[in-house]
Amino acid sequence: MSKTSEEARPVRPPDPHPSGARPPAIPPELVPRHVALVMDGDGRWAKQRGLPRTEGHKEGESSLLDVIMGAIELGIPYLSAYAFSTENWRRHPDEVRFLMGFNRDVIHRRRDLLNEMGVRIRWAGRRTRLWRSVIRELEYAEQLSAGNTVLTLQFCVNYGGRAEIADAAAAIAAEVAAGKIRPDKIDERLFARYLDEPGIPEVDLFVRSSGEQRLSNFLLWQSAYAELVFLDTLWPDFDRRHLWHACEIYAGRERRYGGAVPNVISDSGVS
């Protein structure tokens, strides 16, 4: 039997936080299985400092790496990062070009470290319009890390929740037209198999930085029952401690999925 990449080599532990902070003592059953991250606030962070927006994006790279390490420390098995949306093409062409090259270079720079830490990288998003060099880096990172099991990091690049749902519907329609699927057999379980990464579980905790309180077309299907936490911190100032704080908020919430427990009504004093 062949060994997985993690059995064949030691896994590098995450670097400790510079402050010495340690993850909170959240019971394992209350740690979110899948956390979705909207990394918002790069532009405002740069504007506050009189810098171009691109400097905010650069600063945000270290924030993501620190959050990944914090997720590993806390025992979160799945993390999704919104790196470039289908709507981001509307930005100024100079910023789009920067983001394309930046996403490519971040994956190239960090893939070996992430692989050493046992991180499996997956890519969700459309190939259309995406630079070929970006696709090559994403696909190589997926292949390199395929055997890792410590944490699955889903990079959402050229991704949109509505686009993902529309693409899944189109694929199912093609299967129906080909006689491979009966229309009366289409249900939520079948539909989910046609999403970009059907092997990744639904989102438990949806976290957005910068104080904005929107989903912004991110993992719409997967976040149907996610707990939403919006933090005021701009993304370049965000680190693993903010992730842990969001997880503490999550652990304190009651998730009922549409169900409810009957109210206990005391009959004391009732004649």
Q: How many degrees, rounded to 5, is the angle at CA 146 between CA 157 and CA 196?
A: 40
Alpha carbon 254 to its chain's center:
22
Residue 7 has pLDDT above 80, yes or no: no
Q: What is the mean pLDDT of residues 118-131?
A: 96
* Model pLDDT, residue 5: 46
Q: Are 29 and 4 in contact (CB under 8 A)?
A: no
Q: Verify whether residue 40 is a known catalytic residue.
A: yes
Residue 136 has pLDDT above 50, yes or no: yes
Q: How many degrees, rounded to 5, is the angle at CA 54 between CA 208 and CA 93?
A: 100
* Model pLDDT, residue 2: 44
Residue 24 to residue 45: CA distance in whole angstroms: 28
What average pLDDT is seen over the chain? 94
With pLDDT > 90 as the criterion, what percentage of the chain qualifies?
Answer: 90
Which residue is listed with tokens 């989102």? 203
* Model pLDDT, residue 103: 94
Catalytic residue among 15, 66, 88, 196: 88
Catalytic residue among 40, 42, 196, 239: 40
Residue 32 to residue 264: CA distance in whole angstroms: 29
Q: Are 125 and 159 in contact (CB under 8 A)?
A: yes
Residue 14 has pLDDT above 70, yes or no: yes
* Long-range own/partner contacts, residues 93-102 (CB < 8 A, 24 or more apart): 95/53, 95/54, 98/54, 98/57, 99/57, 100/130, 100/131, 100/134, 101/131, 102/54, 102/57, 102/58, 102/61
Q: What are φ and ψ of residue 7, in 5° steps?
A: -70, -30
Q: Verify whether residue 115 is a known catalytic residue.
A: no
